[in-house]
Structure 1
Amino acid sequence: MKKTKNRFEVTLTFVTWVTIFLLWFLVTNLYDVSSLLLPSPQEVWKTFITIVRKGYNNISLWQHLSDSFVRLLWAVGIAFVTAVPLGLLSGYFRKFRAIIDSIVQFYRPIPPLAYYALLILWMGIDDGSKVTLLYLAAFAPIYTACVAAVNNVNQDYILSALSLGASQKDLFVKIVLPACLPNIFTGLRTAIGFSYTTLVAAEMTAATSGIGWMVIDASRYLKSDVMFVGIIIMGVTGIMMDSGLLYLENKLIFWKGKD
């Protein structure tokens, strides 16, 4: 039954995207729609092939992607390494949470562009300020997920372990951490998605490469076809990253959803 359901969902997804591209093709080919507003799929495909072969602004597409993903992966990696222990400790110890949580909750709702100018003043226009911006964008979702995960751990497991003489170390490593891993992965997926959206903001200021910069630069010169190429690339790569994390989650956290 599960396999049938999965196949049905895949079919629905496939039909949905085929319908979207078919409507896009029909609207742009049957009606007098300006390519400046909505380029046809053929135009976007030709532009994509040109960018793959010749690059954009004398920089190859692979270099644009590499620059963007290096910034993104550095930021998310550092955020994961710092946010997970801080989040778990904040959820486990109230006094620790009183110190860290208010700081995170203060900056979390602030739009990234609001403090990006300050980061540039402090750190310059190089990748340091961009990685820091993405780091701050990724830190809060992972931290919040970790705190919530600790608070949602089944208390029966903790009481049972304590009654059997488990130490605080064993309790944390063998009970709390495994129970929190599903939520940690969810927080990581959210952080990557939010950081990827912030990447455009980071690359629109004093950058000369990156997939986000390519879209912003194309918008200045009304190159709608290049903008569509960049947007589609960001969407596809975003889905690939999320699918990869979901695959790892299903493989590594096999106990998810089981009591």
Structure 2
Amino acid sequence: MSTAPAVSDVLREEADGEPAGPRRRARGQLLTWSGRLVLPFGSLLLFLLGWQAVSASGTWSETLVPPPAKVWDAFVDVSTTHDGVRGYNGTYLVEHLGISLQRIAFGAGIGIVLGVLVGLVMGTIGWVRSLLEPWITFLRTLPPLAYFSLLIVWLGINEEPKITLLAVAAFPPVAVATTTAVAAAPRHLREAARALGASHREVVRDVVLPSALPEIFTGVRLAVGVAYSSLVAAELVNGLPGIGGMVKDAANYNNTPVVLVGIAAIGISGLVIDGLLLWLERTVVPWRGHA
């Protein structure tokens, strides 16, 4: 098959003074980015239209399915001072969210650090993995509400049980991902490093850890998601101020618009944090392919 450029491409190059190949690539990248922007916004628009249609149909009462306009009004109310009331329960939405994010940062951060350290040990020492893996699996299968009451009995109703719950929820995904990735590190690279005189610590630091980083980041992203899913449970008791506490308190009074505002705030902030983690992964682990 001939590899000569098409006549039309040559004519365009001569007319424009620019190679057709780079121009096609740039156009393809523009279309790709356009699709990545249009599709999410299109799906959001369809969701809002469907939501409005369902709420306007009268099938369910507005208490159960409030229209988007009422949810927007609730968002404005909890974000500003209205009728002398500051936000929700004296706290703005952004402040509720900020306090919850601090709890997630401390709790999930502790669980992630412990998960990486324990996973490194389990992945390199077989008997430690045999000893701890059943317990981590047992912990991973427990729903947060199963042990939150016990944490309250042990630690009180202040911040300690909330931070501990988020740490316990975030620990297993990171530990499992790190253990699997460390155990799967290429054996020939480890043996080559030992043959060159590297110590066990140097092998772990320079060979095993870089090889395991992609899966560790996957575990971290899963851990943050699990911590977010445990947020409302963590703020069931004495959770105000806090976005999960706001959702729980509003649900007690059938204030569905505020509940939906809180759910949207949790979901959107979770998307932002996951995007930041994905960007960090691409920066730290550039050799891993991304779509």
Q: In which range does the TM-score fall when normalised by the shorter chain?
A: over 0.9
Equivalence for 2:93: 61
Cα deviation for residue 6 of structure 1 reads: 4.7
Which structure has more RCO (C-alpha within 8 Å, separation ≥ 6)?
1
| 1:143 maps onto 2:175 in alignment | yes
**TM-score, scaled to structure 1:** 0.92
Residue in structure 2 matching 1:131, options 160, 163, 170: 163
Using the TM superposition, name which of 90-99 and 170-179 deviates more: 90-99
Deviations 1:24-54 (A, max 9, x none): 223334x235211111111111110111003
> In the aligned structure 1, how far is the partner of 2:285 from the partner of 2:196?
25
Residue in structure 2 matching 1:164, options 196, 199, 204: 196
Aligned residues: 257
Gaps of 5+ in 1: none
Equivalence for 1:37: 64
**TM-score, scaled to structure 2:** 0.83
Superposed CA RMSD in Å reads 1.8
Equivalence for 2:119: 87
Using the TM superposition, name which of 37-46 and 159-168 deviates more: 159-168
Deviations 1:214-243 (A, max 9, x none): 111111111111111111111101101101
Gaps of 5+ in 2: 1-24, 82-86
Deviations 1:61-95 (A, max 9, x none): 23211221111110111112221111011001112
Residue in structure 2 matching 1:247, options 260, 279, 282: 279
Cα deviation for residue 189 of structure 1 reads: 0.6
> In the aligned structure 2, how far is the partner of 1:5 from the partner of 1:147?
36
Contact residue 99 and residue 242 of structure 2 kept, 8 A: yes
Identity of aligned residues (%): 37
Equivalence for 1:48: 75
Residue in structure 1 matching 2:45, options 14, 18, 29: 18
1:215 is paired with a residue of what secondary structure?
helix
Using the TM superposition, name which of 118-127 and 53-62 deviates more: 53-62
Cα deviation for residue 115 of structure 1 reads: 1.0
Equivalence for 2:7: none
Cα deviation for residue 5 of structure 1 reads: 3.8
Residue in structure 2 matching 1:193, options 225, 228, 240: 225
Deviations 1:160-209 (A, max 9, x none): 33343433222111110001111111111100111111110111123332
Equivalence for 2:141: 109
